[in-house]
């Protein structure tokens, strides 16, 4: 290896992806992911027990795959980072137990890290050290948050988050009622390209003047989902065909409109000129295009990792681990516990 920086192994098991990444500094050496998403598809959502079992089976082979992809061996690893939360408890436990076993056997420091901070840190691998301060818009199946990132290793504060469904969850639920497979986000994205985004005026949650005052940076997607369901039901009752592409495009526009509006407002209000986008929904083509355009107009510099790094993976955990090692942050106690409700402001579990 050419660099003197430590080799960090990252392990992610908070939901349905078993991710193992290897990172040196801001360089990605390997990103191995095994997903159990197909096993959940027929249930229309992630089944925690099925996910935990799949992590157990995938853990060792995925670590082996990452090591051989990076052409290193376990004994080369200098530090380990693992998602400590938030996420599904049983799923988190598999990753944390594996990480502890590796750290003990290799006698290297272990960092139990925050999944959301890792989603932000991953852009180090694509575009180098993070600009700080920055605002981060994190949108995935489990979370939708606007974060103020002063320092990714210890100073991340939530500005707002969803008060009900996450953005990706809304995509998945609307896809389901349109008869599309799980996870629905990519299907809606594709279909929306064939429809008219102004065909149906769906509501923009928490954007009225009153809500703007109380919830300037919070999101709500549950009313939107219900509104789409009512619209579809009414058409069905009247025996009319459902213009699926128009519904998909109009729904997607409502989500994107709110996300972009609030993210840009957060940058302007806080005088921050860097916006980071992360999470599975960051793969959405309309969201990416609209953010590029609105950031350009408003003089905000946008950083978006490639879609493969936006969805859950181990590289993002290793990226945050590498930043922590670099900053001299103390590792977690070996006895630390996974926390399914870990608060966003807590980057590392002590
Ligand atoms: O970050 P992620 O892989 O897992 C969580 O931490 O939840 O995000 C998965 C979510 C799913 O809800 C999926 O439908 C959504 O990201 N997603 C998309 C797209 N690709 C994935 N949503 C909208 N458009 C997409 N292209
Ligand atoms: Zn995630």
Check pocket membership of 280 for ligand 1, CB cut-off 6 A: yes
The atom number, within ligand 1, closest to the CA of 87 reads 6
Q: Which atom of ligand 1 is nearest to the CA of 166?
A: 12
Q: Which ligand is nearest to the CA of 308?
A: 1
Q: Is 278 in the pocket of ligand 1 (CB under 6 A)?
A: no
Confidence check: pLDDT of 322 > 80: yes
Best residue for ligand 1 mutational test, from 31, 139, 141, 161 (most atoms within 8 Å of Cβ) = 141
Measured in Å, residue 12 CA sits from the centre of ligand 2 at: 9
Quick one: average pLDDT of 2-20?
A: 91
Over range 230-248, report the average pLDDT.
Answer: 97
**Beta carbon of 186 within 6 Å of any ligand 1 atom:** yes
Ligand 1 atom with minimal separation from the 283 CA: 26
Full-model pTM: 0.94
- Å from CA of 177 to ligand 2 middle: 24
The whole-number pLDDT of residue 2 equals 46
Q: Is the distance from the beta carbon of residue 346 to the nearest atom of ligand 1 less than 6 Å? A: no
Q: What is the pLDDT at residue 36?
A: 87
Residue 171: CB within 6 Å of ligand 1? yes
Residue 312 Cβ < 6 Å to ligand 1 = yes
Q: What is the CA(240)–ligand 1 centre distance, in A? A: 31
Task: Report how far residue 37's alpha carbon sits from residue 268's, in angstroms, rounded to the nearest whole number.
Answer: 38
Tens digits of residue pLDDT in 65-92: 999 999 999 999 999 999 999 999 999 9
**Are 275 and 282 contacting, i.e. CB atoms less than 8 angstroms apart?**
no
Tell which residue, 11, 192, 227, has the closest CA to residue 102. Answer: 11
- Find the mean pLDDT for residues 253-257: 98
pLDDT higher than threshold 80 for residue 3:
no
What are the pLDDT digits (tens) for 272-310?
999 999 999 999 999 999 999 999 999 999 999 998 999
Structure tokens at 251: 């729904």
State the pairing for strand pair 79-85/7-12.
parallel
Q: Which residues in the chain belong to E strands, given as ranges? A: 7-12, 17-24, 27-35, 79-85, 110-114, 134-139, 144-151, 155-161, 274-278, 301-303, 348-349
Residues 90/52, Cβ–Cβ less than 8 Å: yes
pLDDT at 108: 98
Query: What are the percentages of helix, strand and coil residues in the chain, rounded to 5?
Result: 45, 20, 35
Among protein residues, the one with the nearest Cα to ligand 1's atom 1 is: 280
Ligand 1 atom closest to 184 (CA): 14
State residue 1's pLDDT score: 45
Measure 53 CA to ligand 1 centroid, in angstroms. Answer: 22
What is the rounded average pLDDT for all residues in the chain?
96
């Amino acid at each position: 290896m050419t660099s003197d920086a430590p080799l960090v192994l990252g392990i992610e098991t908070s939901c349905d992806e078993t991710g193992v990444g290897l990172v040196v500094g801001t360089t990605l050496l390997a990103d191995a992911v095994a997903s159990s998403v197909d096993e959940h598809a027929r249930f229309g959502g992630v089944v925690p027990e099925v996910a935990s079992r799949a992590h157990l089976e995938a853990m060792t082979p995925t670590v082996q795959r990452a090591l051989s992809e990076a052409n290193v061996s376990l004994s080369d690893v200098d530090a380990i980072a693992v998602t400590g939360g938030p996420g599904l408890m049983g799923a988190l436990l598999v990753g944390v137990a594996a990480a502890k076993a590796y750290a003990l056997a290799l006698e290297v420091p272990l960092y139990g890290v925050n999944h959301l901070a890792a989603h932000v840190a991953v852009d180090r691998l694509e575009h180098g050290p993070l600009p700080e301060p920055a605002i981060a818009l994190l949108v995935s199946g489990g979370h939708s948050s606007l974060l103020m990132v002063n320092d990714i290793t210890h100073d991340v504060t939530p500005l707002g988050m969803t008060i009900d469904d996450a953005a990706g969850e809304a995509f998945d639920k609307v896809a389901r009622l349109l008869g599309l497979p799980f996870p629905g986000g990519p299907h809606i994205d594709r279909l929306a390209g064939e429809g008219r985004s102004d065909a149906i005026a769906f509501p923009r949650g928490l954007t009225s003047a009153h809500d703007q005052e109380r919830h300037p940076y919070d999101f709500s997607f549950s009313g939107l989902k219900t509104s789409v369901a009512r619209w579809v039901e009414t058409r069905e009752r009247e025996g009319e065909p459902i213009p699926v592409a128009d519904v998909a495009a109009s729904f997607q526009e409502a989500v994107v409109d709110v996300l972009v509006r609030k993210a840009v407002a957060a940058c302007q209000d806080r005088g921050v000129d860097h916006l980071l986008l992360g999470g599975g929904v960051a793969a959405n083509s309309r969201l990416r295009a609209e953010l590029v355009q609105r950031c350009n107009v408003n003089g905000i510099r946008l950083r978006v990792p490639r879609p493969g790094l936006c969805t859950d993976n181990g590289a993002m955990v290793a990226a945050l681990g590498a930043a922590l090692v670099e900053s001299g942050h103390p590792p977690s106690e070996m006895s630390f516990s996974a926390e399914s409700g870990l608060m966003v402001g807590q980057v590392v579990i002590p």
